[in-house]
Amino acid sequence: LDPGLDIMDEIGRLRREKNAVILAHYYQAPEIQDIADFVGDSLDLSRKAAATDADVIVFCGVRFMAEVAKILSPGKTVVLPDMKAGCSLEDSCPPDDFRKFVEAHPDHMVLSYINCSAAVKALTDIIVTSSNAEHIVNQLPADQKIIFAPDRHLGGYLSRKLNRDMVLWPGTCIVHEQFSEKELVKLMARHPDAPVAAHPECPAQIVRHASHVGSTSSILKFASETDAETIIVATEPHIIHQMEKASPHKTFIGAPGADGNCNCNTCPFMALNTIEKLYLCLRDLTPTIELDETVRVAAERPLRRMLEMSP
Ligand code: 13P
Ligand code: SF4
């Protein structure tokens, strides 16, 4: 790139020229969050992608999120700054294995967390996110048998909280699995008045210390509304950027990993997107998300069902 180029100005110019909207997840780098037209959690971003009248969606998040945008808005060009931005939950659930798993439980309804491939969505009855999962499960009959994939921690959390039996696919998020209960308890002892806010992708031994458990947007709401001056945040630490903007007088501490600091918990997939790659994908309109139309149509059905059943 030309060193004299003002990337921020160029992104602004190109987005107008191409009628593009820039959507970003809370786990993106602060400069990406700040230049985006909209920052949100998985559900907010799906809704924005479905409703936008832009011609181009620049999706600053991971690939499954950009795929959701394409599934819901197939006529639009959807670009992702780095096509290698995957997700360990998606990787943990290969579609062919998942198909056999579903076939082995024929009387079960299939609920999948949105963090999965389009091919896994196509095998699913209803998609959920961390912000609507409880609300959706509560609409199902009490005796409904349920498969939950691919996150066994979110599935386990829902199963315990809602007192529902679920057959869980054994996938995990490598980022939320890094938190150390031992180090968290030590940190809590040093900050006895600080509540812990945790994402349900965390293992049960972390979630059990949390005063608030929820999606990224619900954690942000909790952080701004609580009277506490210091909050321990058990999710990907780039979310702290929005917390500091909303409540500059409060202190936010990322929950620690086994080494006692929070830097190990950044998502390596989200980190592949940079402001330079954002500029390039907007300039060149590549790489684009392309989906097989049969898979797209089959994946759209459980996503639309999610949107209809969401609060
Ligand atoms: P939410 O933003 O929907 O809570 O999801 C978190 C996440 O892991 C995204 O990959
Ligand atoms: Fe996937 Fe975890 Fe990264 Fe979210 S934080 S994109 S679930 S690996």
Whether residue 264 is predicted with pLDDT greater than 90 in this model: the reply is no
Residues 6 or more apart from 14 whose CB is under 8 A from it? 20, 279, 282, 283
Kindly report the average pLDDT of the chain as a whole number: 97
Q: Which ligand is nearest to the CA of 150?
A: 2
Stretch 163-192: mean pLDDT, rounded?
Answer: 97
**146 known member of a binding site:** no
Q: Output the pLDDT for position 25.
A: 98
Stretch 23-36: mean pLDDT, rounded?
Answer: 98
Asked if residue 188 is part of any domain, the answer here is: yes
Residues 180 and 259 placed together within one structural domain of the fold: yes
**199 known member of a binding site:** yes
Residues 276 and 304 placed together within one structural domain of the fold: no
Is the CB of 129 inside a 6 Å radius of any atom of ligand 2? no
Residues 225 and 284 placed together within one structural domain of the fold: no
Residue located nearest, by CA, to atom 1 of ligand 2: 87
Separation in Å, CA 149 to CA 77, 89, 275, 284: 29, 9, 32, 36
Asked if residue 283 is part of any domain, the answer here is: yes
Residues 94 and 169 placed together within one structural domain of the fold: yes
Q: Output the pLDDT for position 2.
A: 86
Q: Percent helix, strand and coil across the chain, each rounded to 5?
A: 45, 15, 40
Q: Output the pLDDT for position 1.
A: 83
Asked if residue 1 is part of any domain, the answer here is: no
Whether residue 201 is predicted with pLDDT greater than 90 in this model: the reply is yes
Whether residue 157 is predicted with pLDDT greater than 80 in this model: the reply is yes
Residues 132 and 184 placed together within one structural domain of the fold: no
Asked if residue 132 is part of any domain, the answer here is: yes
**25 known member of a binding site:** yes
Number of structural domains found in the chain = 3
Residues 22 and 79 placed together within one structural domain of the fold: yes
Query: Please, what is the Cα angle at 302 between 298 and 304, to 5 degrees?
Result: 105
Residues 42 and 64 placed together within one structural domain of the fold: yes
CA of 216 to the centre of ligand 1 (A): 6
Asked if residue 33 is part of any domain, the answer here is: yes
Q: Is 22 helix (H, G, I), strand (E, B) or coil?
A: strand
Residue ranges making up the domain that contains 31: 7-85+270-290
Whether this model's ipTM surpasses 0.95 comes out as yes
Whether residue 263 is predicted with pLDDT greater than 80 in this model: the reply is no
Residues 305 and 158 placed together within one structural domain of the fold: yes
Q: Report if pTM > 0.95.
A: yes
Separation in Å, CA 282 to CA 21, 60, 78, 137: 10, 11, 10, 38
Beta 56-60 vs 77-79: how paired, if at all?
A: parallel
Residues 140 and 117 placed together within one structural domain of the fold: yes
Nearest alpha-carbon partner for 26 in 15, 34, 18, 16: 34
Residue 300 tokens read as: 């759209």
Asked if residue 240 is part of any domain, the answer here is: yes
Residues 6 or more apart from 125 whose CB is under 8 A from it? 109, 110, 111, 302, 305
β-pair partners for 198: 213, 234
Among 23, 26, 27, 33, the mutation site with the greatest number of ligand 1 atoms within 8 A of its Cβ is 27
Query: CATH number of the domain that 215 lies in?
Result: 3.40.50.10800
**224 known member of a binding site:** no
Beta 146-149 vs 109-113: how paired, if at all?
A: parallel
Asked if residue 53 is part of any domain, the answer here is: yes
Residues 236 and 165 placed together within one structural domain of the fold: no
Residues 169 and 302 placed together within one structural domain of the fold: yes
Confidence at 35, pLDDT banded by 50, 70, 90? very high
Stretch 150-172: mean pLDDT, rounded?
Answer: 98
DSSP tag of 171: B
CA of 254 to the centre of ligand 1 (A): 16
Is the CB of 87 inside a 6 Å radius of any atom of ligand 2? yes
Q: Output the pLDDT for position 261.
A: 82
Asked if residue 2 is part of any domain, the answer here is: no
Per-residue pLDDT of 36-68, as tens digits, reads 999 999 999 999 999 999 999 999 999 999 999
CA of 157 to the centre of ligand 2 (A): 17
Per-residue pLDDT of 236-254, as tens digits, reads 999 999 999 999 999 999 9
Residues 196 and 242 placed together within one structural domain of the fold: yes
